[in-house]
Structure 1
Amino acid sequence: WPPLRRSLAFIFTRSRLASLRYVPATLWAVVAGELECGMVAVNSELVTHVGAPFGGIKESGIGREGSSEGLQAYQETKMVCLGGLE
């Protein structure tokens, strides 16, 4: 993590958000994976999309709404085996 920590120190000590453009996308993938949040936007004010699940974690709200993930909270998985259907 030392290279990541140096990069994050560079990113978050700058006064302008435009400096985020010079950070490799692979670094942002690592950072986004480590954040404990429901949504991440990098260099964009758009955080969600109509087809994307929306929601948070911890005290900001558990669960998702929108997309197919929003329906999973209301569904129960069940296996049914039928015999003698010849």
Structure 2
Amino acid sequence: LWSCPERYIDSEECVNECIHQGSYCVPDPDGSFIEGLRGQDVLAQHVRQLCLWKVANASGVPWQWWDYVDWFGSNCTIASGNYNANCSQ
């Protein structure tokens, strides 16, 4: 996890690999800026998982988060092309 320097926030790399105006960035997961996943995709999934953790924990069922990340890790992989919001649901 890194942040984009302010002077590069509008660069293609920062736009594709970051969220929240360059505050949170991760490297391109498949190494291609032209096609496939972007760092933004990975960060969006992390945000979904964090949201689920907060809701499950507040609801007294934190194990549901573990069930979800186990299922997601098996079924929604980058290699399978299913690492996306649709698979996440």
TM-score bracket, normalised by the shorter chain, equals: under 0.3
User: What TM-score do you get using the length of structure 1 for normalisation?
Assistant: 0.24
Q: Comparing both structures, which one devotes a greater share of its residues to strand? A: 2
| Pair member with larger Rg | 1
Of structures 1 and 2, the one with the larger relative CO (CA 8 A, separation 6+) is 2
Q: Comparing both structures, which one devotes a greater share of its residues to helix? A: 2
